[in-house]
């Protein structure tokens, strides 16, 4: 496999490790610059957390989370060859006990409840699909997210940002090349109230 079909883990326990991924339509790993920015924003919020990497592709975000101490990562990937390589990379890093690769269509998967909610969700679908608003609505409606979950959103820079579900608040945003990203926090009702609201 060509060197171009690889990602480099930026920080944490596996810093500097390269992981391969097969070519696939729409597979576009999140750029190093955006990954570094995202995990700088999150700081210690990754350690011990349950993470969801929808449209996992190369697994760049999920592997970065594992490297930085995530308790569990669920990689969701529809393409068979890509899913196989994700499993192989988990084996190479010896973190199979902290992750699972699920072969599934992400859009169909989020239509039902997950069992246990996630603390951190990475939403980085192929740009051509234009499915971020639908994904966000389904994750909220079907209780995929913990009360104060973090959500990473990525889309093309020319596309205007859409209205977020009620209770979701933009924490940070950035751009790099053709990609724009946001880190969003799901705010509970109690935390969204102002002091005067209790009087």
In tens, the pLDDT along 110-131 reads 999 998 999 999 999 988 888 9
Average pLDDT, the chain: 89
With bands split at pLDDT 50, 70 and 90, how would you rate the model's confidence at 29? confident
Domains with residue ranges and CATH for the chain = 6-198 (3.40.50.150)
Strand pairing of 50-54 and 118-123? parallel
Output the CA–CA distances (angstroms, integers) from residue 119 to 26, 143, 164, 186, in the order listed: 26, 11, 18, 10
Tell me: pLDDT of 193 over 70. Answer: no
Lowest mean pLDDT among 8-12, 74-78, 188-192: 188-192
Span 31-59, pLDDT tens digits = 888 999 999 999 989 999 999 999 999 99
d(CA 85, CA 27): 13
Count Cα atoms within 13 angstroms, Cβ side, for 53.
Answer: 28
Does the pTM of the predicted model rise above 0.85?
yes
DSSP β-bridge partners for residue 120: 51, 150
pLDDT of res. 118: 98
pLDDT of residue 26: 59
Give the residue-averaged pLDDT of 98-121.
Answer: 95
């Amino acid at each position: 496999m060509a060197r171009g079909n690889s990602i480099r883990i930026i920080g944490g326990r596996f810093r500097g490790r390269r992981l391969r991924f097969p070519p696939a339509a729409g597979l576009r790993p999140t750029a190093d610059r955006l990954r570094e920015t995202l995990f700088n924003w999150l700081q210690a919020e990754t350690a011990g957390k349950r993470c969801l990497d929808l449209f996992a592709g190369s697994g760049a975000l999920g592997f970065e989370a594992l490297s930085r101490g995530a308790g569990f990562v669920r990689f969701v990937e529809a393409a068979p060859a890509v899913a196989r390589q994700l499993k192989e990379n988990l084996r190479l890093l010896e973190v199979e006990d902290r992750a699972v690769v699920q072969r599934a269509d992400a859009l169909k998967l989020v239509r039902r409840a997950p069992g246990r909610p996630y603390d951190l969700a990475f939403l980085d679908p192929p740009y051509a699909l234009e499915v971020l608003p639908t994904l966000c609505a389904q994750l909220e409606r079907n209780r995929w997210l913990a009360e104060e979950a973090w959500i990473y959103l990525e889309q093309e820079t020319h596309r205007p940002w859409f209205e977020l579900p009620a209770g979701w608040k933009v924490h940070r945003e950035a751009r790099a090349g053709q990609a724009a990203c946001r880190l969003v926090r799901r705010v509970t009702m109690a935390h969204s109230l102002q002091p005067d609201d209790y009087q």
